Chain A
Amino acid sequence: MSIELGHFSLILAFAISLVSAFGGLLLWRRGERLALVLGQAAVLQFVLVGVAFLALVQAFVVSDFSLALAANHSHSLKPLIYKISGVWGNHEGSMLLWILILVLFGALVAAFGRRLPSDLASLVLGTQSLLVAAFAGFTLLTSNPFERLAVPPLEGADLNPILQDIGLAIHPPLLYAGYVGFSICFSFAVAALISGRIDQAWARWVRPWTMLSWVFLTLGIAMGSYWAYYELGWGGWWFWDPVENASFMPWLAGTALLHSALVMEKRNALKIWTIFLAIITFSLSLLGTFLVRSGILTSVHTFASDPTRGLVILSILAILIGGAFLLFAMRAPMLRQGGLFAPISREGALILNNLFLATAVGAVLVGTLYPLVLDALTGTTISVGAPFFDFTFGALMAPLLLVLPFGPLLAWKRADLVAAGQRLMGMAALAVFLTVLISALGGVSISLAPLGLLLGFWVSLGSVAELIERAKLGRIPLGESLRRLAGLPRSIWSTAIGHLGLGLTVLGIVSVSAWETEIVTTLNPGETTELAGYSIAFDSFEQIPGPNYLADTGIFTVTAPGGGMARLDAERRIYVASGTPTTEAAIQTYGLSQLYLQLGEPLDDTHVIRVWHKPYILLIWIGCLVMSGAGILSLTDRRLRLGAPQRARKAAPEAAS
């Protein structure tokens, strides 16, 4: 009964979104009352899709196997959390999550966007509803999650064991909140193009939404990376897998958008480019959805699905993106660029940022799609894997990281590069010193490691340079400095912290790439091996049953160089329902470094043991957390609050004149 209720709710939401879409896009000049109605419709869409989603969750929780989706992807013995996360561990359910995020952002605009001019609000909500209609229609017609079975099986087929992890509960919702969240930027861009309202105020309205989505996407990608790291069992944390790229491209484009919207907001320049980026960012999200669900890629992430679905998504993609770019092509020539500036200026620096980020998006896009296109055109199959991306992406990021610390120190309009350089001298010297020191201590195993380290330290230290400068640290009494720090605008804090996070991530990547050590050996219970100063004793081997799997467990005692002891349990599991084997690595954290231990298969009556020492690997994800924190901090800035307060309008003429 509740399943039919959910199904009906989704159909109703689809109908409402259809009406809202046409209402918003055709009648947007009708003023306040239309905007109000569309706002209510947006909230209603959210409530209805929410009901549909809960109905699905409920069926999974009570193991109602008359629901085809639950029968195919759930199991009554599964722990509750995996029953719930199993809802989106498949194509149909994850589509519903997609739509849920879409309507959530629509409802958020309705709730927080009260101060938006009514024509813009109507257009934004209309466009968002169009997206909802497209995807709800797609889901209902080709991938209905509410399908029932006439003869329900007694037991479900279980979820892919790799997905039975807390990671599935967190990673997809965050990721979707990020890249589906960019739909709002898309809707704002389309609204701006239709209404012709493309000004600083627009940038001010759209930036918080970009920031919010960007924070979610950053967290989602970081979480996905950490999940892959501990779950897939060989300690890799980024694979340049096509589907990873599909989520990484919107992130790069979104990062560029954050920076270009800043120029548009402050200086009324880069308008065409910012609108273009807003469309591109969500288009890349859509492309990712298409790649994952069409079946044209093979990846750990793809859902088994039939090609007709891919065709339908491709058509939706073509219509939405094509339509947006048609609008763009019609409007863009009419836009007048404001805000003149010299090449050496904050604007110039942000343009450089955009140039490199946009090129990186292009490079990753080409690398991801090239094998598919080449295969289709010539029948030649090639692989484009990690070595290619490492090289190309690294070569594009190095110059960006090199110039990054200068950006925030440059003034708008016209800046003094020499002065900025002088202010960074101390930090540059410190970065060089640290790089030389660490390279001398750690040895240089990869020739590029010192360069990477230098860039990492340079960005990290250079980012806090402005804070230190503004606080006059060391030149005035400490208390006074702290007071100055506390009084700094949040935008300066969030810039510094965001860039610091990036620097930390770079340091983590370089460190683990250059100084990771590993050992592969055979070991019997009672024997001991050693790696990077850690002594690893194999205590015992046991077979322990889990709730829905059997586990061969190796129990180890690791003694750190400092003398601390820790017990590590590494498992090899066989899941009962599907017979699928998985490995569960044991990970022990020492400061920012980790010891990663994997129990291999038996070999001639002994056990294969693989141990990795991953120095400072946690910096990779800590850096992402710091970046996200900076984004959240920026969202609490009252000048940037969602929905934009009236101050924006007062401030606009000043800046424009």
Chain B
Amino acid sequence: MSWRALLLCLMMAFSSPALALSPDEILSDPALESRARDLSAGLRCLVCQNQSIDDSDAELARDLRLLVRERLVAGDSNEEAEQYIVDRYGEYVLLNPRLGPHTLVLWIAAPLLLLVGLVALVLARRRTARPQAAGLTPEEQAVLDQLRDDTERR
């Protein structure tokens, strides 16, 4: 690590972090603001660990929050604003991956597993149901007769 990079790290460590959503970012229109919050919750803070930009303290998250609000104020729909961000930062920014050829397996995994489980259950059931028809073994029949005799005697 060069001393320059080291210095940068130190500066970052000592500068106090800008925290999550600040009052100066909040839009005056509550409807727009609420849409901005919904959008923010689904956008990933790219430099953080699995945090949405709504929760994150990072500078980049703040930039994205402001960008989202800028787009909404400019008259974008939620989808347009989201697309605007995705165009610039890639699909990685979406916490909820879009359905597409590359995420097909991801999205159908759960229903598919459930289906496979159900089919396996039905097959297993058919397999175990058959021997039942075979009836009792001679020993079992003997035990049963014995039990019946015992009850009748009583």
B21 at the interface (CB under 8 A from A): yes
Interface string of A394-422 (1 = CB under 8 A from B): 01100000000000000000000000000
Label chain A's interface by main secondary structure. mixed
Smallest CB gap from B56: residue in A: A234
Contact segment of A128-136, A282-290, A351-359, A459-467: A351-359
Cβ of A293 to closest chain B Cβ, rounded Å: 16
B102 proximity list for chain A (CB < 8 A): 374, 378, 380, 382
Bound CA–CA A367/B97 (angstroms): 10
B118 proximity list for chain A (CB < 8 A): 355
B73 at the interface (CB under 8 A from A): no
> Are B44 and A385 in contact, with the CB atoms below 8 A?
yes
B14 at the interface (CB under 8 A from A): yes
Bound CA–CA A365/B32 (angstroms): 36
B8 at the interface (CB under 8 A from A): no
Q: How many residues of A contact B (CB 8 A)?
A: 54
B52 at the interface (CB under 8 A from A): yes
Smallest CB gap from B127: residue in A: A337
A439 at the interface (CB under 8 A from B): no
> Are B90 and A395 in contact, with the CB atoms below 8 A?
no
Bound CA–CA A521/B25 (angstroms): 10
B126 at the interface (CB under 8 A from A): no
Bound CA–CA A395/B94 (angstroms): 21
> Are B114 and A600 in contact, with the CB atoms below 8 A?
no
Q: A299-B49, A340-B132, A363-B110 are in contact. Are A520 and B22 (CB under 8 A)?
A: yes
Bound CA–CA A600/B41 (angstroms): 20
B77 at the interface (CB under 8 A from A): no
A386 proximity list for chain B (CB < 8 A): 52, 95
> Are A578 and B13 in contact, with the CB atoms below 8 A?
yes
Please report which residues of chain B, range 12-71, place their CB below 8 angstroms from some CB of chain A when the two chains form the complex. 13-14, 16-24, 26, 41-42, 44, 49-52, 55
B103 proximity list for chain A (CB < 8 A): 370, 374, 382
B117 proximity list for chain A (CB < 8 A): 355, 358-359
In the complex, number of A-B residue pairs with CB atoms less than 8 Å apart: 125
A579 at the interface (CB under 8 A from B): yes
Q: A522-B23, A603-B24 are in contact. Are A385 and B106 (CB under 8 A)?
A: no
Cβ of A298 to closest chain B Cβ, rounded Å: 5
Smallest CB gap from A374: residue in B: B102
Bound CA–CA A521/B113 (angstroms): 47
A343 at the interface (CB under 8 A from B): yes
Cβ of B123 to closest chain A Cβ, rounded Å: 13
Please report which residues of chain B, range 75-91, place their CB below 8 angstroms from some CB of chain A when the two chains form the complex. 90-91
Q: A355-B117, A382-B94 are in contact. Are A242 and B50 (CB under 8 A)?
A: yes
> Are A298 and B49 in contact, with the CB atoms below 8 A?
yes
A610 at the interface (CB under 8 A from B): yes
Task: Give me the 9 closest cross-chain CB pairs, A-B, nearest first.
Answer: A385-B95, A387-B96, A363-B110, A366-B109, A362-B113, A381-B92, A234-B55, A359-B113, A600-B19
Q: 29 A-B pairs, CB-CB below 8 angstroms?
A: A239-B50, A241-B49, A298-B49, A299-B49, A340-B132, A355-B114, A355-B121, A358-B117, A366-B109, A370-B106, A378-B102, A380-B91, A382-B91, A382-B102, A383-B44, A383-B94, A383-B95, A384-B95, A385-B42, A385-B52, A386-B52, A388-B106, A392-B110, A520-B21, A521-B23, A578-B13, A580-B13, A610-B19, A610-B21
Q: A residues within 8 Å of B by Cβ?
A: 234, 236, 239-242, 298-300, 337, 340, 343, 351, 355-356, 358-360, 362-363, 366-367, 370, 374, 378, 380-388, 391-392, 395-396, 520-522, 572, 578-581, 583, 598, 600-601, 603, 608, 610, 657
List 13 other contacts, CB 8 Å, given A362-B109, A384-B95. A241-B50, A351-B121, A358-B117, A363-B110, A366-B109, A380-B91, A382-B91, A382-B102, A383-B93, A383-B97, A386-B52, A520-B26, A603-B23
